[in-house]
Amino acid sequence: MDDVEIAVATAEDIDGVHRLEVEAFPSPWRREFFVSELTASGRFNLVARRGGKVIGYVFAMWFFDEMHVNKIAVTRRERRRGIAAELMARCVEFARIHRIKTVSLEVRVTNKGAQEFYKMLDFQATYVRQRYYPDGEAAVVMTKTLPS
């Protein structure tokens, strides 16, 4: 982690973010979607870079006392090094400062690795949203409640 830089995502990061998105997700967001998220209000979008290259990102939105993690990914060869945990720690710290009460997200029912990752961060599976993804797969909604 020493040579990993965590920073607010900028327009220069979008090519790298989108490359990773396509590598990491079966139904990736379109590039334009990330571009519009950069300037949308109530967003908290971070990248992890090594040597200037994007190796991870988290795109989150928040409103009043709720935060929702839209996207998080780390490039395959950089996984299990604590990079996603650090990105989520920054989200939770931001949430704490803004008196946000819950952080939530959706994860594919078959994505057991990501579910384990969220459990490790004290997220709890709250319910299943059937046919949430474009290919018809269901999502598990997971939520973390922050201490008030």
Ligand X SMILES: CC(C)(COP(=O)(O)OP(=O)(O)OC[C@H]1O[C@@H](n2cnc3c(N)ncnc32)[C@H](O)[C@@H]1OP(=O)(O)O)[C@@H](O)C(=O)NCCC(=O)NCCS
Contact set with ligand X (CB under 6 A): 24, 72-74, 79-85, 105, 107, 111, 113-114, 116-117, 120
Least gap, CB of 73 to ligand X (angstroms): 4
Closer residue to ligand X (CB): 60 or 105: 105
Closer residue to ligand X (CB): 80 or 96: 80
Least gap, CB of 64 to ligand X (angstroms): 23
Least gap, CB of 44 to ligand X (angstroms): 16
DSSP β-bridge partners for residue 13:
none
Closer residue to ligand X (CB): 1 or 40: 1
- If phi over 0 gives left and psi between -120 and 50 gives alpha, with beta otherwise, what is residue 51? left
106, 21 contact by CB (below 8 A)? no
Chain position whose Cβ is nearest to ligand X = 113
Q: What whole-number distance in Å separates Cα of residue 11 and Cα of residue 39?
A: 10
Place of tokens 């006392």: 65
Least gap, CB of 87 to ligand X (angstroms): 8
Instruction: Give the SS3 label for residue 42.
Output: coil
First to last CA, the chain: 30
Closer residue to ligand X (CB): 50 or 81: 81
CA-based diameter of the chain, in Å? 41
